[in-house]
Amino acid sequence: MARWFLFGKVESSGFLCKSQSGFSYQQKCSLVNVKLKWVKDKALDAAVIVEKDLKAACTLATIISSTPQRRLPIYHLSCHRGQLGLPKDLKLSTFIRRYPSVFLESHFLDTGGTRVPCFGLTHEAVELHEEELHLVEQNEMDLLNRLRKLLMLTRDWTLPLQTIDQLKWDFGLPYDYQHSFIPRHPDLLSFVQLPDKRVGLKLNIWDDDHAVSELLKNSASQPKQQDTKNDCLAFPIGFTRGFGLKRKCMEWLKEWQRLPYTSPYSEASYLDPRTDVSEKRIVGVFHELLHLTIQKKTERKNVSNLRKPLALPQKFTKVFERHPGIFYISKKCDTQTVILREAYDGQNLLQRHSLSEIREKFARMLREGLLDKSKGLYKKTRRDDMVEDPLKYECHFEVDSSESSSEEEFEYANYFSTALNNGCNNRT
């Protein structure tokens, strides 16, 4: 994959592009009607395919591990199906049985004498999960800073918990971060009630040292070149081999790279959303957001509800199609995944987080188990493989609402137990 800078990086002293300079540009640079074609990138598609079912399997492993017995009946696991992102026509039990290298199946008889599936974890899966928990503990400050910077990108330093839930996998946050992670940092983070009665997470303290984008950091560490007109930063650009950029598009892209770069952490309300200058700011926001993720990618639907928190215009996700040299949209695995091109060399992530290495091990375990099963190396569960009364296999996320002053304020604490408390008894 070719990668280059159009008009390079320049002096960082003007990277913020003060409001007067930005205002001048926004009067001159209206949004150019340019549409670049989408071209398949097999290497980046492979980076998505290799993690097929990984998030769902890891989430299930975490839920099962949360119980003292490390085993749960299928109808308890079904209560969490909405968090797994599985196809609606796929039975959860069918998905779990697909990976016998991770999940162990047993059965119990319910009151009517019906055999009900119950799933635990293999010894290898338990060890890998414990290794992951240890790494999360070791990297707590790194994960905390990623979350802080995410909140600093927002207008009010606040995001609804539902939005963070969609991004927690990409940011490496623990599955039960609301209970195990956030309460350990009350000086920095707090739960708040939003105007729409939802519960949100708010950053209490702004830190100028963290309000520096990855693009600026990289520009400071590389040789600087003076743009002929303005002190602005250019984004790394790379295209799939054989992309074939038309001359008109090339000229537009060169001019676009010359426009002022507005830091995603700075105030940008003065920018006219109908201009290329504003579009460059939006690109900068998502360039930074993807850099904050562990794998430098996320599903497109995960950012669809960030418009108001990030103070973005309507149809802001159009920047992904208009800038295929910065972002690649993979359409594999029945979803659209936005990938930061510069973070990958082929299908390999250039800067590997320790959690990404754990996930690669887990993905390898899934693939090997699926292959071995296709070869008939796993035997079916015997009918006499029974477990005890399943009623004691409850999710072990304890809730303490004694200090909450209203139902809304401790809604977040009931997040994981709501489905069970509502009597989720459907058998899959």
Q: Give pLDDT tens digits for 135-161.
A: 999 999 999 999 999 999 999 999 999
Rg (CA), the chain: 24
- The span from the CA of 389 to the CA of 352, in Å, is 44
- The span from the CA of 337 to the CA of 328, in Å, is 8
Asked if the model's pLDDT at residue 414 lies above 90, the reply is no
The SS3 assignment for 50 reads coil
Please check whether residue 50 is in contact with residue 363, taking contact to mean a CB–CB distance below 8 angstroms: yes
How many residues does the structure list for the chain?
A: 428
Q: What is the pLDDT of residue 422?
A: 37
pLDDT digits (tens, 9 = 90+) for 87-111: 889 999 999 999 999 999 999 888 8
Which of these, 239, 230, 235, 194, lies nearest to 214 by C-alpha position?
235
Residue pointed to by tokens 């979350």: 147
Residue pointed to by tokens 């426009």: 259
pLDDT digits (tens, 9 = 90+) for 248-299: 888 889 999 999 999 999 988 888 888 999 999 999 999 999 999 999 999 9
DSSP string, 143-172: HHHHHHHHHHTSSSSEEEHHHHHHHHHHHT
Residue pointed to by tokens 């707590």: 140
Asked if the model's pLDDT at residue 26 lies above 50, the reply is no
Please check whether residue 225 is in contact with residue 10, taking contact to mean a CB–CB distance below 8 angstroms: yes
Please check whether residue 263 is in contact with residue 14, taking contact to mean a CB–CB distance below 8 angstroms: no
Maximum CA extent, the chain: 80
Domain boundaries, given as residue ranges, for the chain: 2-42+208-349
Mean pLDDT, the chain, whole residue set: 82
Question: How many CB atoms are closer than 10 A to CB 85?
Answer: 17
- The span from the CA of 337 to the CA of 355, in Å, is 19
Asked if the model's pLDDT at residue 411 lies above 70, the reply is no
Q: What is the pLDDT of residue 127?
A: 96
- 11-25, 285-299, 375-389: least confidently modelled range: 11-25
Phi and psi based region of residue 207 (left: phi greater than 0; alpha: psi -120 to 50; beta: remaining): beta
> What band does 32 get if pLDDT is binned at 50, 70 and 90?
low
Q: Measuring CA to CA, how many Å separate 116 from each of 107, 110, 388?
A: 5, 7, 12
